[in-house]
Chain A
């Protein structure tokens, strides 16, 4: 597994934790590590993890332009569920769920700190 985990910076751990409990929970992930400045979720110990942190350098978390983490889900309905859950929990829209170039059904949103995320279904992955 080339990617072990990903991390985004947040300014408010409690707010971010609530947001990701709701959104990642839709994908079957639960908190696996939890510290004062770091929380990590995954859907199994053999799966890549997602994490949030208060930045190590003590400066405020910021968003990288061009940075994004994309979550694969089982079908288009699940894309809409994840997207809607995110919006209901404080996300901002970055592109509603729909079919995009290349056969991706994808919805884009930003977490309460502005980190860009996406939920998608790619039909060509169904055989995997």
Chain B
């Protein structure tokens, strides 16, 4: 149902370097690399993630409530992704932690989120629960 998601960036080169490293841990690589957007995916038949300079020419911004969540293969990989993000300019929004039963409160609590000024992502281990 989801083909690709996109977030805006003010600095495509900086974003590209960040996501090369972070998504690289999940096995993703650049599938399209254009002047105004870059797309990463693991394989062409899997959903892709992309960053862009906004189409309308205005500055990129962050939407409150907007998030893309990435599946990791193990808790160790969650930590690896999270740490890599922080080492490369990401900002903590909730350290990695284990959640086995999701409730609305838990969803907030599990936000293992990586936050660049413009980019909010999540890596977690709840791929079967949520």
Contact = CB atoms under 8 A, between A and B. Distances in A.
Interface of A: 1-10, 24, 27-29, 33, 35-38, 40-43, 45, 47-50, 52-57, 59-72, 115, 120, 122, 125, 128
B1 A66 contact: no
Interface in B1-26: 1-9, 23, 26
Given A1-B71, A35-B103, A115 B60 contact: no
Contact of A64 (B55, B62, B108, B128): B62
7 contacts: A3-B70, A6-B2, A6-B67, A8-B63, A61-B63, A62-B63, A64-B8
B46 A55 contact: no
Contacts of A68: 5-6
Contacts, number: 164
Interface residues of B, number: 54
